[in-house]
Amino acid sequence: MRAQVALVAAALLATACSASTTSSGTAWLAAHPDPPGVHFAEAQGLCVVTVRYPTEAPGEIDYNGTAFIQMERGGVPANPGKSIGTSGDWTVHLQDQSTIVLVTPGNAYTYRAGAKCGSNSAAPT
């Protein structure tokens, strides 16, 4: 019985580690190309589990050699940070070295830098 539980757990973990959110066909994709210096991507590895709104906004934003993973959605903060790009009706802000805020007409999405998150070496920070 323990062997069966271990096999099921291993299969689930392998699936979660290799899965990614599918952004193809999402409503935002066609209207929001990558701004210069910023790349919108699907979260990879263990980071996939933190992305709650993949159909509304990218699961990952890559900027300046760092992957920032979608963590939460809420209202626009009073100071979202320095604007680092625009795409359609979105503005991408660098709030600090570990936080990006994506401001859309309806919400703001907070992204945090993940430590080796895409390589499955560590959980998102």
The pLDDT tens digits of the residues spanning 6-30 come to 433 444 444 343 333 344 446 788 8
- In the predicted structure, residue 36 carries a pLDDT above the cut 60: yes
Joined together, the tokens standing for residue 33 give: 């190309």
Q: Is the pTM above the cut of 0.85? A: no
CB atoms within 10 A of CB 2: 6
Q: Which pLDDT score, from 0 to 100, does residue 114 have? A: 74
Residue type, 100: I
Instruction: Round to whole Å and give the CA distance between 18 and 41.
Output: 15
- In the predicted structure, residue 97 carries a pLDDT above the cut 70: yes
Instruction: Round to whole Å and give the CA distance between 91 and 98.
Output: 17
Mean pLDDT of the chain: 79
